[in-house]
Amino acid sequence: MDPGPHVFRFETDGQPVVEKQLVIVEGVKNRLERVQIGTPKSLVAAPPTAPPGPRVAQSNGRRSLGLVIGGSGLGLLAAGGVAGLVATLEWNAAKNACGTKFPTSCTNTNSANGDASATLAASTVADVALGLGAVGLVTGAVLVLTAPTPGPAGSGSARWFVVPQVGVGTGGLMFRGSF
């Protein structure tokens, strides 16, 4: 269908014809339009009730869990960064203990061995903490972005979806949302 204004005609037995003009925009897909044919049947009025009290915020378990996991991921990333800095400082201390002939010869092996051992421990802690922190941060973000949003039905609140994308030699996540 060509972009631009178009008139659509809707007919059904026993009801008047409804015509609706819509503007078609190039590239827009899956657009929903509401068309009412005829008049809706009257509804029986419900008896009056007391006005609703103040609205209480509802807890969202997935969103809360995502915030906790994401915050833990940030903490682990910070700890990994600090451990990496410590590993770098210990490695520099080991090089300084050996003198100018590093790495072929070392003048102070006891000090250098202690610094090298501390370097290995700190770098292992940094690697593990950075890896777990990245996983925690991504997991927390996915949980927060995919958590249902509170609010009455039809309130127009934003919704997000994360869809895995897998192909030959490639993979990833696609984020989709509606507002």
Does residue 59 carry a pLDDT above 70?
Answer: no
Question: What's the pLDDT at 154?
Answer: 46
* All structural domains of the chain with their residue ranges: 61-146
Structure confidence at residue 45 as a pLDDT band (50, 70, 90): low
Q: Does residue 71 surpass a pLDDT of 80?
A: yes
What is the residue-wise DSSP string for the chain? Answer: --SEEEEEEE--TTS--EEEEEEE-TT--S-------S-PPPPPPPPP-PPP-PPPPPP-HHHHHHHHHHHHHHHHHHHHHHHHHHHHHHHHHHHHHHGGGTTT--S-HHHHHHHHHHHHHHHHHHHHHHHHHHHHHHHHHHHHHHSPPPS-TTS---EEEEEEEEETTEEEEEEEEE-
Q: Is the pLDDT of residue 156 over 60?
A: no
pLDDT for 53: 58
Return the pLDDT at 130. Answer: 93
- 61-85: average pLDDT: 91
Given a cut of 70, is residue 162 above it in pLDDT?
no
